[in-house]
Amino acid sequence: MPETVPTAQPAVAGIVRDTAARFAAAGIPDPQVDAELLVAHVLGTSRGGVQAAAIRGDRLPAEAGAALAPLVDRRCAREPLQHLTGLAPFRSMELAVGPGVFVPRPETEMVAQLAIDALGASASASPIAVDLGTGSGAIALALATEVPHARVFAAENSVEAFIWAKENAARIGVANLSLAFVDLAEAFPELDGTVSVVASNPPYVPDDAIPRDPEVRLFDPPAALYGGPDGLDAVRVLSRVGLRLAHPGGTIVIEHGEWQGSAIREILATDGWRAAATHPDLTTRDRATTAIRP
């Protein structure tokens, strides 16, 4: 009987190259990055670890190859990478994400920075911040971890997203964050007139707009995307709630689409906010608008 010859384990470098080629053919914007991150996930290492393994000529263990194959198929179908790994990087953190919650984006990091800067500049020894529609908890957790002397309150009205936010609060382990499952218009009446920073990444896609990226269109929850005919329904609520919550001199920070800054400044000014200003992200696209409560 002929002897069975074991199948050679494929080289990590070849697996990454072939995976990146499949991702490129599927239209994925950063195929090499996603290939390295997915291989890192099945190997239990970092992207840098995969790059080092490729240089060394390491081979991919059979069990890692078996785990990788269905994940590559799912990514080619444009399921978000973060759903496959279960994690999304945000500032200094890794947040747990999956179906039912909006995946935090790099551009929201600058929105968090605006809120962090305003909170850190507060004259109070224990300033208060509120994140309305916290989703995965990204902005609230950034505020709580980077301004540790602050008290941070986060509200969410989606059951699925609230579960992810609670998981991330437990993962990060912050003691100065309070989460509430509540309608955003009614959030935290006990804080009225005491809040230094009100922040939000609300749904702002117009109802009849279709997001270009399949990852967004097919996998992000619609309630986290669509904001009415002009995309600004939630912004109108945020402006009024922010006025209720903020103390004089308090700041509101709202993320939005690149063409919405002017309309949001008008909403805020009409409601009575002062010094409304729109800020670009690192790609120079308008990304957030801030204003001060008189």
Q: Tens of pLDDT along 58-101?
A: 999 999 999 999 999 999 999 999 999 999 999 999 999 999 99
Class of residue 16 by CB neighbours under 10 A (exposed 0-12, middle 13-18, buried 19+)? buried
Beta bridge partners of 205: 226
Which overall architecture, per CATH, does domain 88-292 show? 3-Layer(aba) Sandwich (3.40)
* Gap between the Cα atoms of 137 and 112, Å rounded: 11
Strands (E) in the chain, as ranges, are 87-90, 93-96, 128-132, 151-156, 177-181, 195-200, 246-255, 274-280, 286-292
Q: Is the pLDDT of residue 3 over 70?
A: no
* Gap between the Cα atoms of 11 and 17, Å rounded: 10
- Check residue 210 and give its pLDDT: 85
Give the position of tokens 């409601």.
Answer: 271
pLDDT-based confidence at residue 212 (cuts at 50, 70, 90): confident
pLDDT-based confidence at residue 39 (cuts at 50, 70, 90): very high
What pTM, to 2 d.p., does this model score? Answer: 0.91
Domain boundaries, the chain: 12-77, 88-292
- Check residue 7 and give its pLDDT: 56
* Gap between the Cα atoms of 49 and 15, Å rounded: 14
How many CA atoms within 13 Å lie on the side-chain side of 67? 14
Predicted confidence (pLDDT) per residue in 155-174, tens digit: 999 999 999 999 999 999 99
Token pair in block for residue 253: 């920070």
- Check residue 271 and give its pLDDT: 98
Q: What is the mean pLDDT of residues 24-28?
A: 97
- Edge-to-edge strand ranges of the sheet holding 246-255: 177-181, 151-156, 128-132, 195-200, 246-255, 286-292, 274-280
Token pair in block for residue 70: 């269905």
Q: Is the pLDDT of residue 4 over 50?
A: no
pLDDT-based confidence at residue 205 (cuts at 50, 70, 90): very high
- Check residue 8 and give its pLDDT: 72
